[in-house]
Amino acid sequence: MYGNRKKRRIYSVFMILLIFQLCFGMPGILSEEVYSDELDKDKLDIPGNIQTSATVNTIALKWNPVAEAESYDIEINGSVTEGIEVNEHIFEGLESNTEYVIRIRAANEEQLSEWSDPLVCKTFEAKNDALETNSDPENDITVTEYVYGVTEPVNPIPGEEQLTFDGNGLLGEYYNNISLTDLALRRIDHEINFDWGFESPDAAIKGNTFSVRWTGKVQPRYSGKYNFYTLTNNGVRLWVNNKLIINNPLSLPNKESKGTIKLLAGEKYDIKMEYYEFLGKAKAVLSWSSKDQKKEVIPQSQLYSP
């Protein structure tokens, strides 16, 4: 009997504590949970998966989009650029061979996310001091002019119509990264005149972060100073006769670059074009012109695979 009374008393005390908890304790706990749920609902995520790509004087960034974010702020060496509306950005005009510390946060009208962990990205050392790059804002063309080759102007060779032009195109080597190291595909491209948009050049190639090296020979129809033009999205380098005549390693969309070199009609010159696509749309077009040659995409007849 005594044992049962004790059990009943313990049971009663337990019930009183439980009722007290229900009346006074629980509302407090519940309201805290509701409050933190409301905070979580609006909290912006920190931008993640930040990828960088550097050149001598540029740093390109992209990151995963953040839900509910309307824009992004980027801090680069302490200076903040606000209101970037897409999840990618390119800083231009940076110092070469310099480390930049970068953080990104998301923003909308109500709030800011925390800054991402700082990451360090270093620009490359400038190697080719002779190369002059001028910007022509009127035509939105980045001009890289570098004249090589024969010293005296050469007139078209008499009887040049006897020259034969029967090229087959250039060897295209396609890589599944932007650094021309992860070879995925080799093929002959009759000309370099590609507008891939958001698509990939081939099922074996990713839609972003791929690169291509085209090699072979180029054969001009006329003698004289030739302009070569690359219209690329994104970076490009072009060598003709083993001279680097275009060096635009971080081409913005629809940027045309021009390089100039003197050539002799009918000669076959080494040509190499390196290109990479970083993000978004992809494009690679190689054209030429001279005083005797109207501007055109360099046709298959003038290109020879190695």
Which residues lie near Ca ion (CB under 5 A)? 207-208, 233-234, 280, 282
Nearest residue (CB) to Ca ion, 112 versus 185:
185
> Which residue number, 113 or 248, has a Cβ lying nearer to Ca ion?
248
For the bound state, the minimum distance from the C-beta of residue 196 to Ca ion, rounded and expressed in Å, comes to 7
Instruction: Report, in Å, the least distance between residue 251 CB and Ca ion.
Output: 9
Distance CA 167, CA 171 (A): 12
Shortest distance (Å) from residue 60 CB to Ca ion: 10
Q: Quick one: 249 or 299, whose CB is closer to Ca ion?
A: 249
Q: How far apart are CA 18 and CA 114, in angstroms?
A: 41
Give least dist CB 282 to Ca ion, A.
Answer: 5
- 220 and 118 Cβ atoms separated by less than 8 Å: no
Distance CA 199, CA 190 (A): 20
Nearer to Ca ion, 240 or 284 (CB): 284
Classify the phi-psi angles of 203: left when phi > 0, otherwise alpha if psi is within -120 to 50, otherwise beta: alpha
Question: Whole-number minimum distance, CB 180 to Ca ion, in Å?
Answer: 16
Residue with tokens 């074009």: 273
Q: Measured in Å, how far apart are the chain's first and last C-alpha atoms?
A: 105
Q: How many helices (H) and strands (E) would you count in the chain?
A: 2, 21
Closest separation between CB of residue 306 and Ca ion, Å?
A: 28
293/260 Cα distance (integer angstroms): 14
* Integer Cα distance of 180 and 183 in angstroms: 7
CA dihedral 287, 293, 294, 300 (to 10 degrees): -40
Nearer to Ca ion, 207 or 249 (CB): 207
Q: Which is nearer to Ca ion, 136 or 195 (CB)?
A: 195
Our CA angle for 117, 119, 120, nearest 5°, is: 155
CB-nearer residue toward Ca ion: 205 or 238: 205
CB neighbourhood size of 27 (10 A): 10
Smallest distance from Ca ion to CB 166, Å: 34
CB 157 within 8 A of CB 263: no
